[in-house]
Amino acid sequence: MSEVWFYLLADATQATRQQFICRFGEMVIKRHRQALIYCDSDAQAETLDDLLWTHTSPTSFVAHSVNFACPAPIQLVTTSFPSQGDILLNLTDELLTVTGYQRIVEIINPESRDASRSRWRHYQQQGLTPELKPIA
């Protein structure tokens, strides 16, 4: 059964959100995991592609690819993606029906808590137990 983790960021700025995503990418690599980052647009995927190359720790290397252009432990995707895998970070407001991932990660947007609440309830309706996780 999938774990569902929700993170509430300190503020709703784009910079805070991007910083979290970069740290998330570093942790995925450090722990030898694989992740899909589901982006809401091609522009967002391109921005994150640049950030993962330039805004991570100087001692880290976050190998990633956009829309499966090449094999990499982190894939930034904007369209369809496999129904199962290791970790899925959802950056959209879509209600995802995927239970084939070990862990599903959501970021609560303080500016649109209603969408986050809808996603929380949606996972509960799928028989999953979402958890609110602190930012470490």
CA-to-CA distance for 75 and 7, rounded, in angstroms? 20
As a residue count, the chain comes to 136
3-state secondary structure 41-74: CHHHHHHHHHHHHHCCCCCCCCCEEECCCCCCCE
Q: Total domain count for the chain?
A: 1
Percent with pLDDT over 70 in the chain: 99
- The residue range of the domain holding 10 is 3-133
Cα 74 to Cα 16, 60, 115, 127, distances in angstroms:
20, 14, 25, 27
Q: What are phi and psi of 135, to 5 degrees?
A: -80, 125
Q: What is the pLDDT, as a whole number, of residue 45?
A: 97
Q: What is the pLDDT, as a whole number, of residue 132?
A: 94
Is the pLDDT assigned to residue 41 strictly greater than 70?
yes
Q: Which residue has the tokens 């967002």?
A: 44
Instruction: Return the CATH number at 19.
Output: 3.40.50.10110
Q: Which residue has the tokens 């991570």?
A: 56
Of 29-38, 65-74, 106-115, the one with minimum mean pLDDT is 106-115
Q: What is the pTM of this model?
A: 0.92
CA-to-CA distance for 24 and 62, rounded, in angstroms? 10
Q: What is the pLDDT, as a whole number, of residue 136?
A: 61
Is the pLDDT assigned to residue 85 strictly greater than 90?
yes
